Structures are given as C-alpha cells and as structure tokens.
Amino acid sequence: MSEQATPIVEITGLTKTYGSGAAEVTALDAVDLRVPEGQFITVMGPSGCGKSTLLNLLGGLDAPTAGAISIDGQALGELPDDRLTELRRRRIGFVFQFFNLIPVLDAVENASLPLRLDGAKDAVERATAWLERVGLGDRLHNRPDQLSGGQQQRVAIARALSTEPALVLADEPTGNLDSHSASEIGELLRQVSSDWGRSVLMVTHDPRIASFAQRLVLMRDGQIVDDVALDGSHDGPRQALERAGLL
C-alpha cells in the first residue's frame, strides 16, 4: 500500500522520558511515524528499545513528554479525558500476549464486551459475525478454558474488531502460542489489514511472524533506525535486523 494513502496514525517528534535528573530515562526519542489506512506494520527491536512505550502512547494509555499523536484525524493531546476514552474504545482495538479474556464468559460474551460497555443494542450479533469471520463459528459458546491458545487469541481479535476500529494495536500477540498457532494468528492479522481494511501495528520478537506484515519498523534506544517494506518472504525481517546490527 502506498505511503500516500490516508494516514490513520501520524506521530511527530514523539518523546517519552521517565524520572528526572541523573535518573532520567528516555524511552522514546523524537520518533516520527506514519501509518496509512489498512497497512500492517510490525515493530521490532531489543528489549527496552521503546516498542511497548510506543504502543502505550498510541493507545492513549500514557501521555508523551513531547511531540504529537494523531489517530483517525484526532490529536490525542487535545482531547479531554472522556473523548480520549471514547476514541480508545471505538476506534482502537487492542490484542495482548495473554489474551485477557474473562474466564467465566463464553466467546460471544467476551467478544461483545466492548460493545456492551458502549451500550450497543446489537452487541451479540456483531460479535457473533466477527467470531465467524475469524473461524470460530462453531465455538461461540465455549469459555476460554474450553479453547486452545490460538482459539483464545482469535476471540481476542474478534473482540478488538467488534467495535469496527480504524487501528489495531497488537503487543506480542503470538508470544504465548506454539509455532503453528502463531503462524495462523500472523496470517489472520494480515487478513485484518488486507481484507478488512484495518491498520495494524504489531510488536513482536519473532522475525517469522513479522514477515506477515507489509512493513517493518526497527527500533533501538528509543529511536527508529530503519523502516523497510516487506515482500512476504520469511527471511526479510531477519535480513533487515542483521543489516541494522540488531541480531
């Protein structure tokens, strides 16, 4: 997808520091990033390079020290708390490493939770439709302990998509899965972008899973050190990591 496509995310000069004086740590250092509509981007780099901080800031879970974030045309720093909460709930979907499903709820109840919290009258119907799209039409009323890890992550992805978000943030979504299930989730996230038109920003440590994305952003010491297009080959991310001195 062209870089000239409509941007869902625009970040300029994004900086985040923690602590002060001699104890000050710069987690993000003047990062610029643009995520076009419908693009699947993966972010890689060593532990502590700023990947999780970037996701937290994009998700409105933390505020930057400096710089600006715009999501779906709205500047996060200009939104009052209630509007930020609304944007986060309706326009951003979250997928986590450990699924974060509620054990006593079945797949439909888990997937429909954001909609029900938002007062949607058709929450069950919309969640059911997304569960069917992600391949769980025969598991609608299974609780998490009756599902495999890969199936639980599919429920989590359906939950993230149920509100029809513009952006999906995925933090190590395959980190708790076996290699076969991880590949299936990588392929599903590619489908979220290519077939369903959502922008996806995924953090991962696994070069093989990164290869499902269209674009690879490499980070080190709070900065972006490379930003490359991927061609779908499994070797692409590993070669990019080697060129950047990150392997």
Residue 166 domain-assigned (yes or no): yes
Residue 54 domain-assigned (yes or no): no
What pLDDT, on a 0 to 100 scale, did the predictor assign at position 215?
Answer: 96
Residue 7 domain-assigned (yes or no): no
Q: Residue with structure tokens 């199936």? A: 151
Residue 140 domain-assigned (yes or no): yes
Q: Please count the structural domains in the chain.
A: 1
Share of the chain above pLDDT 70, in %: 98
What pLDDT, on a 0 to 100 scale, did the predictor assign at position 5?
Answer: 55
Residue 165 domain-assigned (yes or no): yes
What pLDDT, on a 0 to 100 scale, did the predictor assign at position 90?
Answer: 87
Look up residue 167 and give its two tokens. Answer: 């952006």
Residue 147 sits in a domain whose CATH number is 3.40.50.300
What pLDDT, on a 0 to 100 scale, did the predictor assign at position 1?
Answer: 40
In the predicted model, is pLDDT for residue 3 greater than 50? Answer: no
Residue 138 domain-assigned (yes or no): yes
Residue 67 domain-assigned (yes or no): no
Average pLDDT over residues 144-166: 95
Going by C-alpha positions, the residue among 94, 125, 99, 96 that lies closest to residue 112 is 125
Residue range of the domain that includes 169: 38-49+80-243
Average pLDDT over residues 73-93: 89
pTM assigned to the model: 0.93
In the predicted model, is pLDDT for residue 162 greater than 90? Answer: yes
Sign (positive or negative) of CA dihedral 231, 192, 93, 185: negative
Beta strand ranges found along 104-213 (DSSP E): 167-171, 199-203
What pLDDT, on a 0 to 100 scale, did the predictor assign at position 6?
Answer: 65
In the predicted model, is pLDDT for residue 179 greater than 80? Answer: yes
Look up residue 214 and give its two tokens. Answer: 């269209």
For 113-127, write each residue's pLDDT tens digit. 999 988 899 999 999
Residue 68 domain-assigned (yes or no): no
Spatial distance between the Cα atoms of 148 and 92, rounded to a whole number of angstroms: 25
Average pLDDT over residues 151-177: 95
